[in-house]
Amino acid sequence: MKTGQADLPLHYGKAPPWLFERMIRLSRGIIEFLIEERGPLFLLSRLSDPYWFQSLGCVLGFDWHSSGVTTTTCGAIKEALKGRELEFGIFPAGGKGAASRKTPSEIEAWAEKSDLKCSPKSLTQASRVSAKVDNNALQDGYQIYHHFFIFDREGNWAVVQQGMNEENGYARRYHWFSKKVTDFVEEPHTAICCDLRGDALNLVSAESRKNREVCAQLSRERPDKISGEIRRMKELSLPRAHQLKVSDLKPASIERVLLLTYERQPEDFYHLLAMPRVGAKTLRALSLIAELVYGTPASWDDPARYSFAHGGKDGYPYPVDRETYDQSIEILEKALLRMKLSSSERENALRRLANLF
């Protein structure tokens, strides 16, 4: 299940070497403590919590609210685990940009080196489908550019991925946790953290269930029949939200994708979504046909519900939620008191925690 989502101002640049080196050392101590005390599964559950993850980025000393907290924190975690993956029983894959596309090969490489108790194929499938859900089934204007997949020997996994929207200058972070997955394509969120809301085609909403069913049925129809419907839609006077979404549909290119779905006959929406070359425009076209022709509307409600972190001392985006913050700090303080760093590093980390108030 997707366990959260966060919207962050889009900032460019990177952490200076002196800071990143310390982030690696500090995160290694936290990771080691959590695994020793609670096990690899607990670490995965913490990383899948957007509030805890944001607090971790703050404790590591990075900017509290920029998009870089996601990529830099994940990068520090990956570096912290380097050389100790087999010892800890935790295996990271993916990252930002080109590194995200290496996720399947990195999963397979770890499968060869370790005694995994699950099929690496199931892990690569989870990685791929979680990205397709956030990129294509939830069309909220954010293009995925960072995908971090981390798993244990038992086949449990967590995903931290981020999308970019250059028009509004924000990035949105999505969290997943395998232990809570019941359905990849219906209500995968348990906590949505966002400062901005807008129009979004939300095909993973419970309200979109009938629409998803009809989309799967339409994908099994003759491609020329569907492309004919798309051409008619482009000529109709549709509501404003639909006009904005229909304008860039190209019937000919979508028909080529539909030929693939027609040949393979996907049994349901999950298998349709997971198919290669089935992207946002194909799903949007099928969804609109399902709504306009078959009367099964999809949800256009952006699923974002909450602000992205605990709040701020200056009241932005809202006053600090002390109860939630205390829970995060309690976990981190216990880890920091036990980690194997110098006393000065430990004191500085604790001082940063105190200053967060």
Tens of each residue's pLDDT in the chain, 357 residues: 556 555 555 555 566 787 788 888 888 888 988 998 899 999 999 999 888 888 888 777 655 555 678 888 999 999 999 999 999 999 999 999 999 999 999 999 999 999 899 999 999 999 999 999 999 999 988 899 999 999 999 999 999 999 888 888 788 889 999 998 889 998 776 555 555 666 788 999 889 999 999 999 999 999 999 988 888 876 655 555 554 456 667 888 889 999 999 999 999 999 999 999 999 999 999 998 998 888 999 998 877 654 444 444 344 444 545 666 566 556 666 666 665 556 666 666 666 666 654
pTM of the model: 0.79
Q: In angstroms, rounded to a whole number, what is the distance separating the alpha carbons of residues 122 and 178?
A: 11
Q: What's the rounded Cα separation, in Å, for the pair 56 and 74?
A: 10
CA-wise closest residue to 245 among 296, 219, 277, 282: 282
Residue type, 271: H
- CB atoms under 10 Å from CB of 17, counted, come to 8
For residues 259 and 186, what is the distance between their CA atoms, to the nearest angstrom?
A: 26
One-letter amino acid of 301: D
**Length of the chain in residues, anyone?**
357
Coil vs helix vs strand at 167:
coil
